[in-house]
């Protein structure tokens, strides 16, 4: 078998020669010999490569020149040889110096060499350049230190480590600030103590670690518990940590307290909901107000015509009875429009001091008759209760509405308690109520109650739980509108299976004392003479009906279907005794017409016919009003009050 030239050379060389060839061929290690005094006696290619000395330059030189000045001053070369001679071996890492003065990090082994008699003949020294590893270690160390400083400097996040079983193994200042535990209190404890009892019962901590281990990451928001037991809303991220072999060695957990953010979002959501509800109610209010206005016009014409027809049919009892039935129906329709206007807060109220216990006593018989014998009504009032400001008729209607609702909620019978007490409120204590003195008039039943969703919709227009044909859904909205218009409020309280309490919060009257004196009954007023009356209304039906009522009363009416037409008639003359004008007219409202009339003719009497409670802001004249729908008698009385007997 043929051998290569190199193999032939190795075989021909002696054993010592073969080792020499091997050592000289190594370039990643400096392998050389020292005599017993530390002088270099051999030098391989690896030593020359990373120490920079040629064999001629270094042989016979002391190996201490490879050490730094600091190590030489500390006697490190001599200590290394003494150690190797004493124990047979010296091993260390440290800085060494190349020929050009550059430092490098070296791993050094020095072995003592002895002859067959045990006599020290020198040292074998092997040096490896680990500068790249040292630099990498330093970079890693700096990186780890920077990361440690980063984690330790974070206070807005709880950043800590868990072992594979979920025990805490590190704890940063953010965790201490957010969760309240000191490091020595929590390290070694299971992280499940941060969870609520409900979450622990559902095994959420174990599920979180299982998900992180399987998918690499777990992320969720939820309630967490501080050391003092208080809860906070947190966003939590758990990342699985694996070693180079893919083995799970623990978890990195980051927790942030976002309670304030959540509360802000909830407050924004509530505000948006309230705004939406307010906009919806405003839209429905505008719609119902407009519908009520049109109904009022129709009912004004119907009632007026029926009154005149009744006078003419007085000799035929059968016809009179039919007309009376029609009048009753029209008045019920008027009551419905009052509810619509009350909801839309456009009802014309007559606010005055009202004695609540007296009003309840006056309506007691009506209330009991309305609910039937199967339900008891009891009342509870203090001995002294201040008067409130409200419209007594509308307040009585509101109370009746609440009592009927309470009756309908108790199909199997029960009792209703009507009570009242004085309360002084601060700002924001009851929603939408200003600070001040109030009387809280409440109606409490023993019915089935309402769940939260039904309670929230209870005052929504046309919402009812009574079934088709058994309720309009306007009762509570009417009460709510009445309360708001008179400076008070309606508060509904209910729970499923625990009944319902409706509270009417009524402002205490500032002029109650002035109303304590009995007032004399005013006699009915009628004009003492026929009057010239200008009637202005854009609705032809209402206009014709009003003209008929005035003619039937003996007056001399003139008609106009717009403000512009009315002004032209006044300018042409002669001036009438009184102008009766509708308010809701296109181009020029009745209020605007009244202002122009008073400005042009200061002594001219004007009556504004309207079903609305509020007129535009900035109206400079005080105009007497005629509430729609009006009867012939009310029309005549209003004219008499304005013009005089």
Q: Where are the domains of the chain?
A: 5-130, 154-257, 275-343, 352-515, 532-643
What does the pLDDT read at residue 450?
A: 80
> What three-state secondary structure class fits 57?
helix
Residue 189 to residues 166, 169, 171, 182, 194, Cα–Cα distance (Å): 8, 8, 11, 12, 10
For range 270-288, the mean pLDDT? 60
pLDDT tens column, 28-82:
788 888 999 999 998 888 888 888 899 899 999 999 999 999 999 999 999 999 9
Euclidean distance between CA atoms 60 and 62, whole angstroms: 7
Inform me whether the pLDDT recorded for 12 exceeds 50.
no
The DSSP secondary-structure symbol of 68 reads -
pLDDT tens column, 493-552:
888 878 888 888 888 887 644 444 444 444 556 676 888 999 998 888 888 888 888 888
For range 288-312, the mean pLDDT? 67
pLDDT tens column, 559-603:
999 989 999 999 988 999 999 998 878 888 888 888 899 889 988
CATH superfamily of 532-643: Response regulator (3.40.50.2300)
CATH superfamily of 154-257: PAS domain (3.30.450.20)
Euclidean distance between CA atoms 626 and 637, whole angstroms: 10
What does the pLDDT read at residue 8?
A: 47
Euclidean distance between CA atoms 233 and 217, whole angstroms: 20
Supply the CATH classification number for the domain 352-515.
3.30.565.10
Among 188-202, 236-250, 462-476, the range scoring the smallest mean pLDDT is 462-476
Euclidean distance between CA atoms 595 and 10, whole angstroms: 129
Count other C-beta atoms under 10 Å from residue 278's C-beta.
11
Residues 6+ apart with CB under 8 A from 326: 302, 306
> Same fold for the domain at 5-130 and the one at 154-257?
yes
563-572 and 590-600 helices, crossing angle to 10°: 20
Residues 6+ apart with CB under 8 A from 134: 105
Q: Which comes out higher in pLDDT, residue 81 or 402?
A: 81
CATH topology of domain 5-130: Beta-Lactamase (3.30.450)
């Amino acid at each position: 078998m043929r051998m290569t030239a190199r193999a032939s050379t190795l075989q021909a060389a002696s054993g010592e020669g073969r080792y020499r060839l091997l050592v000289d061929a190594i370039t990643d290690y400096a392998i050389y010999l020292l005599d017993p005094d530390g002088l270099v006696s051999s030098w391989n290619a690896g030593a020359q490569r990373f120490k920079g000395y040629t064999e001629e330059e270094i042989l016979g030189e002391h190996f201490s020149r490879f050490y730094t000045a600091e190590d030489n001053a500390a006697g490190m070369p001599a200590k290394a040889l003494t150690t190797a001679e004493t124990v047979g071996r010296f091993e260390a890492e440290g800085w060494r110096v190349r020929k050009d003065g550059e430092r490098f990090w070296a791993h050094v082994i020095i072995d003592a060499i002895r002859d067959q008699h045990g006599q020290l003949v020198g040292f074998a020294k092997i040096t490896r350049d680990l500068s790249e590893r040292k630099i990498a270690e330093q970079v890693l160390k700096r990186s780890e230190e920077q990361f440690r400083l980063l984690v330790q400097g974070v206070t807005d996040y709880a950043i800590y480590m868990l072992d594979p079983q979920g025990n805490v193994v590190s704890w940063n200042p953010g965790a201490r600030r957010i969760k309240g535990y000191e490091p020595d209190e929590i390290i070694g404890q299971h992280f499940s103590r941060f969870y609520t009892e409900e979450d622990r019962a559902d095994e959420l901590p174990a599920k979180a670690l299982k998900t992180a281990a399987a998918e690499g990451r777990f992320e969720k928001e939820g309630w967490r518990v501080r050391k003092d037991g208080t809860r906070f809303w947190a966003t939590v991220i758990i990342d699985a940590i694996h070693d180079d072999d893919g083995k799970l060695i623990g978890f990195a957990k980051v927790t942030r307290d976002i309670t304030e953010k959540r509360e802000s979002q909830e407050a924004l959501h509530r505000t948006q909901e309230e705004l939406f509800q307010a906009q919806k109610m405003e839209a429905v209010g505008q719609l119902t107000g407009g519908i009520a206005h049109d109904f009022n016009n129709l009912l004004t014409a119907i009632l007026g015509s029926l009154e005149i027809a009744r006078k003419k049919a007085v000799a035929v009892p059968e016809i009179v009875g039919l007309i009376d039935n029609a009048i009753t129906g029209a008045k019920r329709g008027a009551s419905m429009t009052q509810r619509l206007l009350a909801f839309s807060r456009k009802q014309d109220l007559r606010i005055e001091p009202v004695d609540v216990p007296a009003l309840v006593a006056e309506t007691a018989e009506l209330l009991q008759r309305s609910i039937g014998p199967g339900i008891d009504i009891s009342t509870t009032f203090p001995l002294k209760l201040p008067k409130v400001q409200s419209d007594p008729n509308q307040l009585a209607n509101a109370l009746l509405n609440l009592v009927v609702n309470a009756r309908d909620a108790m199909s199997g019978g029960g009792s209703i308690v009507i009570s009242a007490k004085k309360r002084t409120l601060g700002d924001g204590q009851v929603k939408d109520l200003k600070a001040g003195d109030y009387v809280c008039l409440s109606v409490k039943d023993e019915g089935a109650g309402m769940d939260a969703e039904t309670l929230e919709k209870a005052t929504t227009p046309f919402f009812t739980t009574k079934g088709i044909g058994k309720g309009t859904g306007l009762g509570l909205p009417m009460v709510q509108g009445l309360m708001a218009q008179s400076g008070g409020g309606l508060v509904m309280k209910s729970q499923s299976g625990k009944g319902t309490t409706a509270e009417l919060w009524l402002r205490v009257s500032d002029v109650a004392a002035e109303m304590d004196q009995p007032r004399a009954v005013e006699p009915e007023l009628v004009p003492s003479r026929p009057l010239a009356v200008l009637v202005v209304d854009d609705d032809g039906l209402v206009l014709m009906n009003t003209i008929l009522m005035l003619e039937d009363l003996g007056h001399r009416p003139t008609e106009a279907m717009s403000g512009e037409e009315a002004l032209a008639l006044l300018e042409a003359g002669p001036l009438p005794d009184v102008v009766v004008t509708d308010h809701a007219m296109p181009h020029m409202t009745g209020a605007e017409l009244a202002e122009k009339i008073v400005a042009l003719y200061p002594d001219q009497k004007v009556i504004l016919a309207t079903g609305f409670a509020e007129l535009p802001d900035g109206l400079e004249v005080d105009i007497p009003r005629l509430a729609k729908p009006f009867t012939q008698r009310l029309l005549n009385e209003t004219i008499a009050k304005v013009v005089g007997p």
